[in-house]
A = this chain, B = another copy of it.
């Protein structure tokens, strides 16, 4: 366990020229809906549209010039792939992004437009293919979450929250493999141990709730949920110890409440995000996260990768 607040501050300086300090929006309009003082950490307004850029830049900036010249590889059709492709372009390195055949053309093209090579394969083979490319080319894999440099980068969002609102009471973070909450909880607890940090994950994939109960990372069954960015079946083994140490609880959110939360954020909050990002708000709507009227509660809105055509599903959702 080598991740420390100091390392996250180092990451903050390292990535500063490449990222934007995302706004912490005081969203008073949502107070009556959620029953607390609502703050939104808008990572959907990050340069590449999601927090993932923080970790990718931090990881790639630690590579030697020789490593960089051999190229970098990532297996991701989502925000992580975009972040790696963007960073490689900025640093003049070659990126290869491994994507499943099923990835929509719009996502494939977006990655290509950033100058990255796209290799497509079956979904089940993507990590294997990425590993093979790394070996063949002596290239470096940039993992999506299970890495302390990645976590350090994501943790910079936590430092920003504490700097933007030093008297925040609670922070609720969307969770998949644990890279974001691993970094954010380490940063926040390091700066002020009395701030509560919670994770929100889909009820269909409660990998952290189950693991914390078991006292070690356990794998949950693969099930579908509307939270299409929160699909890890098992906690990252490098993330898990930080989360076990630095978080105050997990909420398993049903799709029904996640959809309500997503609609609320868009129609009342006027913020467009991807469905996964609204899961913390869903935890309040479902009654899982207990909040008080005078508490300052920060919802980390992790990303904004969503097509307008996806919003049609919201027409059926009632608030």
Name A's B-contacting residues (CB within 8 A): 20-21, 23, 25-29, 42, 44-47, 49, 266-267, 269-273, 304, 308-309, 311, 314-315
Is A315 touching B304 in the complex (CB atoms < 8 A)? no
Given contacts A23-B26, A28-B47, A271-B272, 16 further A-B contacts (CB under 8 A): A20-B29, A23-B25, A23-B27, A25-B25, A25-B45, A27-B45, A29-B45, A29-B49, A42-B270, A49-B270, A267-B272, A267-B308, A270-B304, A308-B314, A309-B315, A311-B311
Given contacts A23-B25, A28-B20, contact A45 B308 (CB under 8 A): no
Closest to A28 in B: B20
Q: Are A47 and B23 within 8 A (Cβ)?
A: no
CA distance A267 to B307 in the complex (A): 8
Residue of B nearest to A309 (CB): B315
A251 → chain B, closest Cβ, in Å?
24
Q: 21 interchain pairs (CB within 8 A)? A: A20-B28, A23-B26, A25-B25, A25-B42, A25-B45, A28-B45, A28-B47, A29-B47, A29-B49, A45-B270, A49-B270, A266-B308, A267-B308, A270-B272, A270-B273, A270-B304, A271-B271, A308-B311, A308-B314, A308-B315, A309-B315
CA distance A47 to B30 in the complex (A): 9
